[in-house]
Structure 1
Amino acid sequence: MSNINFIQKSDLFSYTATRCLRNEYFHNDCHICIDLCPKGAFHIVRNKLTLFENECVGCAGCIGSCPTEAFEIESFDPNGFAASYQHQNESTISCKTSTPCLGIFDVEHYTVMALRGEKSVVCDLSHCEGCVLNENGKLGESIREKIDATNRFLEMIQTPQRIETIDVKVEENDRRALFRKGFEKVKESITEESVAHISMTAAHHKRPDVKMPLKRILLKNSLKEIIPGLETTEFTQSSPLFFNKQIDFQSCTNCGDCTQFCPTDALFTTSDKQGIVFAQGKCIGCGICEDICKPNAISKKEGFSLVSVAFERAEQLVHYEMVTCHECRCPFPYKGGDPICDRCSSYIKEFSNMFTLAKDM
């Protein structure tokens, strides 16, 4: 079966295989959704992520954890909800009243809601412990980790907003009945006329050659609004949201594999094809570039710039002068010394004995 425009559906839930990192790069080992799914609906078949439709209950708990937005649910759009949160009458986000499982949101969504809203964002997590979807505790733990990461980022950039939680435990007699009731609520929300359910994500994905997740675009737009009021926009520590890269000049061969396989075009070549440029705002931290680099020239770098992230400023990591190798007459990135490419230099060293004349032996 072809993976081109391959979409699997289970009732309201859909999975687009062409947006999955495991399909983007054969050796990628992303398994977040597999670990989170309470029903074990995701499986690896021939090293490709596959949804077993008959096992999926459409709970939406995995949606927020996918870095490339490969999952969607027809009745609720987390990007639409986050973008319109400041206009909501109710500030409390709850799976019992306003949304599906809070696992539908990612750190980007929580950050957008916090930055755009004038009121505190309150997440009702009191139902997580008794929820049938959280029997192994993984889904609830994931939600709390994302909220904690959001608050760490908000504290780092010194904004007053925070994500608050309601953790009071409640008694639930029939957990499975409550889950069925909650799932029916999600189905019914299809007919509701609410800005929270306008499918911004679906419209975004219909645009040609779209590689950037919409949640990342919403976050960058939100940062543009607050940057003028921040005391500092340059940070030396790592962030749960933004990533930085560096390339070792001596190790890099300018082969271009990292730019070819980057799923969001965070790494791209210069116009003369002799250098590599990195855009922090586009990087989702998938690690494909580091894994695919044969000489291990790419590595993580501490620090990030909010201005570079928000306004998509890119940094040139390396640039080479291309010269012609004196042996094979092919162009190669020159790094000093004799104008001989690495391939020829290695060949001469390994097989020098083949060129030794009998009179010299």
Structure 2
Amino acid sequence: MGKQLIICDCSGSQQIDTTALSRATGIPCPKLHSALCTGEIEAAAGAIADGEAIICCAQEQSLFEQLAAEIGAPAPVCLDLRDRAGWTADTGDTLPKMSALTAEAGLPVAAAKSIDVISEGVCLILGPAEIALAAAEKLQDVLAVTVLLNETARPPMTRAFEAVRGRLKRASGALGQFDVTIDAFQQLTPGGRQWGWSTPRDGGQSNCDIILDLSGEASLFPAPEKRIGYLRGDPRHAPSVADALLQAAQLVGTFEKPLYVRNQPLLCAHSRADQTGCRKCLDICPTGAISASGDHVSIDPMICAGCGSCATLCPSGALTYDAPPTDSLMRRIQTLATAFLGAGGIAPRLLVVNGHGGEMIRYAARYGTGLPANVIPLELEALNRFGHAEILAALAAGFAWVDILLAPGIEQDVLEREVALANAISGEKSALLDHFDPDALSETLFGAAVPTALADVVRPLGNRRQITRQAAKALTPGTAVLPLPAEAPYGAVLVDTSACTLCLSCVSLCPSGALGDNPDLPQLRFQEDACLQCGLCANICPEDAITYEPRLNLADSALSQVVLHEEEPCACVECGALFGVKSTVDKIVGMLADKHAMFQGSEAARMIRMCDKCRVNAQHHQENAPFRGADRPRVRTTDDYLSKRRDH
């Protein structure tokens, strides 16, 4: 059988027109159920066994997945229609919204890329002796425990686990591969009535799979909650210590670590010739997973927590989110908009949330007024991956407004920057919602004015920069140039022509090819669409002649090269060939003629105005030529040797 919708009205608590929904989605719905998870469980089993069933109930997803495993069928797609559309105080038509959610649920899911992480349960416990030793006693049967005590701690009289003494100097890594360095390192020396410690030594090194930090001191790592394998518990708060012990006990075995970000170093605009340009990913990474590696950056996949901030801010596309890929997210956005509008909906609004926001929506539906009929939720694993390009793609696809619901643990400044950039391009059509109360969220959404959506929708394609340009042209027809906030990844390079000497250092360093030269004439050329505003050209310019103007140029001229600065070329006084810049040669003549030992006299000074070939030739033939060596010796022949023998 093909796809089919298995719909449950949850004991009659929601109204669903299955006939209209089937017609709008093109997916048959055999029957409207009321107790699919209890009295009608056999119907669910039959649909799961047939395959390709979309079960419109997310509350009992684990039950349906367990049922599929029991009958040997693939896990079904579970779609939450009830909390996101069915349970609402809005009396408007919910069919367009249900159609959109159903269409999105039917999209293929991109296979996730991951690597295996092996943890054998080697655990290092830090903290005061009374807390750390008690924790070790609880974990000694499930983990290979070592307790690091401070330099004054007395030796524990047990060999059930390892105990050492010293100061933790350094720690690095993540689950399965932590490396630690310990100064004043001492091992336990059991024997006699009183056990002791070995002679202390600095620089003791070891590794472990898990670090359980019960010290109550500053974290060993940035963003500790995102460092897998590093667990913290407050020694003054027994429940937090118990939670940390429970988590540690479960970190044994082989785990799949997603590869969140794809790195293409050749596109990176971080550095060239020891000059630093873009640092956005380095400055924003909360876990410190990104480091400079020559002219580009590298990412430690074990430390990366997949927040998506680096990929959102990367101006060149060197870093792209890959779990799932960007085009998968764009497809979800466009599918939601297309299905909503196709079912007769008007002016849809997109509400972007993560797992925390999804839970708020469920609470708002069960205990409050739910979501308006025109608000379509889009739940993502990484909220920070939804940047200006995604906002603009949604608006161009037909959404009238985009809201992003903030959540704990995200980099809010990234979203603030991206929303500001999107609004500068689209004209205030997106916002951040800072609500932690489901009722406040519903009240804000129900009280919002309904904006006007784009009449002629478009479906932008390509990378994020290309999508931004296509969407901006659709959203702002007739506009040539849009001013943008500072640090935007789009803009123009401005050159002070009175200071520029056309040395072309900027051209040699430009990572995107936005700056170019003319091999036949002294020109500095610029293609605005390719400019990343990375800062490399301004940093390398010896004359400080380069500044930037953040803007988005939608004119066709931005796609081709224009001349920023040009000067008259210098013609060789000997052969007439063009070389260099005439004004620069004139300056050099003024600085060197009759002022430098090599250019005394008119003939010597004349060589400055020659091309390379003529200058070398003139220097070779001049009197006292600096490059002329001694006369070459005459080639000796056989007759020379024979005549020499006759002479003797």
TM-score (ref. length: structure 2): 0.39
Q: How does 1:246-265 map to 2 (within 5 A)?
A: 246-265=494-513
Identify the match of residue 464 of structure 2 among 215, 236, 241: 215
1:48 and 1:288 map into 2 onto residues whose CA distance is 13
C-alpha deviation, 1:85, in angstroms: 2.1
**Residue 123 of structure 1: SS of its match in structure 2?**
strand
| Aligned with residue 414 of structure 2, among 142, 146, 167 | 142
The aligned residue for residue 381 of structure 2 is 100
Identity over aligned residues, as a percent? 18
Q: Give TM-score scaled by structure 1 length.
A: 0.66
Per-residue CA deviation, residues 55-87 of structure 1 (Å, 9 max, x unaligned), is 223332321011122223433223552466233
Residues 1:124 and 2:405 are matched in the alignment:
yes
Q: Distance in 2 between matches of 1:148 and 1:292?
A: 30
- The answer to whether the 8 Å contact 1:83/1:112 transfers is no
Deviations 1:229-281 (A, max 9, x none): 44x43467867453122223343232333223222222222463432222222
Contact 1:234/1:303, CA 8 A, preserved across alignment: yes
Could you tell me which residue of structure 1 aligns to residue 390 of structure 2? 109
Tell me what 1:190 maps to: none
Q: Letter of the aligned partner of 1:233 in structure 2?
A: A
Superposed CA offset, 1:268-305 (max 9, x none): 22463432222222212111111122222322247664
Alignment of 1:218-237 (within 5 A): 218-227=467-476, 229-230=477-478, 232-234=479-481
**Where does structure 2 lack aligned partners over 5 or more consecutive residues?**
1-113, 116-256, 338-348, 356-377, 439-460, 602-648
C-alpha separation in 2, matches of 1:34 and 1:98: 27
1:88-131 deviations in whole A, cap 9, x for unaligned? 26822222263232221333332333233343222122x2xx23
Are the counterparts in 1 of residues 420 and 485 from structure 2 also a CA contact under 8 Å? no
User: 1:317, CA displacement in angstroms?
Assistant: 1.1
Q: Is the 8 A contact 2:424 2:482 kept in 1?
A: no
Q: Which of the pair has more CA radius of gyration? A: 2
Matched, 1:18 2:18: no
What amino acid maps onto 1:147 in structure 2? V
Q: Secondary structure at the match of 1:91?
A: strand
Secondary structure of 2:547's partner?
Answer: strand
- Aligned counterparts of 2:284 and 2:562: Cα–Cα separation in 1: 36
- CA shift at 1:163, angstroms? 0.9
CA contact (8 A) 2:480 2:554 kept: yes
Kept after mapping to 2: 8 A contact 1:120/1:163: yes
For 1:100 and 1:57, locate their aligned partners in 2 and report how far apart those are by CA, in whole Å.
11
Q: Check if 1:322 corresponds to 2:569.
A: yes
Judging changes above 3 Å, is the alpha-carbon distance between structure 1 residues 26 and 112 closer, same or farther for their aligned structure 2 residues? farther
Structure with more of its chain in strand, by fraction:
2
**Cα RMSD, aligned residues only:** 3.7
1:199-258 CA-partner distances (Å, limit 9, x unpaired):
x8xxx7xxxxxxxxx21111222234345x44x434678674531222233432323332
Q: Cα distance 1:117–1:218, how it changes in 2: closer, same or farther (>3 A)?
A: same
Which residue of structure 2 aligns with residue 174 of structure 1?
Answer: none
Matches within 5 A, 1:160-239: 162-169=429-436, 214-227=463-476, 229-230=477-478, 232-234=479-481
| TM-aligned CA distance change 1:99 to 1:293, over 3 Å | same
User: Does the 8 A contact of 1:280 with 1:308 survive in 2?
Assistant: no
Distance 1:349 1:330 in 2: 25
Kept after mapping to 1: 8 A contact 2:277/2:536: no
Is contact 1:76-1:99 (8 Å) kept? no
Contact 2:277 2:534 in 1 (8 A): no
Counterpart AA for 2:286: P
Q: Any idea what SS the aligned residue of 1:39 has?
A: coil
**Cα distance between partner residues in 2 of 1:121 and 1:349:** 71
3-state DSSP of counterpart to 2:379: coil
- Contact 1:60 1:100 (C-alpha < 8 Å) held by counterparts: no
In 2, Cα distance between the equivalents of 1:59 and 1:117? 27
- Cα separation, 2, equivalents of 1:233 and 1:87: 30
Partner secondary structure for residue 286 of structure 1: coil
Which residue type is aligned with residue 389 of structure 2?
E
The answer for the alignment partner of 1:287 in structure 2 is 535
Give the 3 Å change call, closer, same or farther, for CA 307–298 of structure 1 in structure 2.
Answer: same
Whole-Å separation in 1 of the counterparts to 2:313 and 2:565: 32
Q: 1:88 to 1:292 in 2, by over 3 A?
A: same
Contact 1:12 1:73 in 2 (8 A): no
Q: Give yes or no for contact 2:308–2:321 (8 Å, CA) kept in 1.
A: yes
Structure 2 distance, partners of 1:105, 1:25, is: 33
The whole-number CA distance in structure 2 between the counterparts of 1:343 and 1:306 is 42
Q: Structure 1 regions of 5+ residues with no counterpart? A: 1-7, 156-160, 172-199, 205-213, 357-361
* Contact kept in structure 1, 2:259 and 2:301, CA below 8 Å: no
Amino acid at match of 1:223: A
Cα distance 1:221–1:121, how it changes in 2: closer, same or farther (>3 A)? Answer: same
Deviation, 1:47, is 7.1
Partner in structure 1 of residue 21 of structure 2: none
Correspondence for 1:75: 323
The AA in structure 1 aligned to 2:430 is: I
Instruction: Name the stretch that deviates more: 282-291 or 56-65.
Output: 56-65
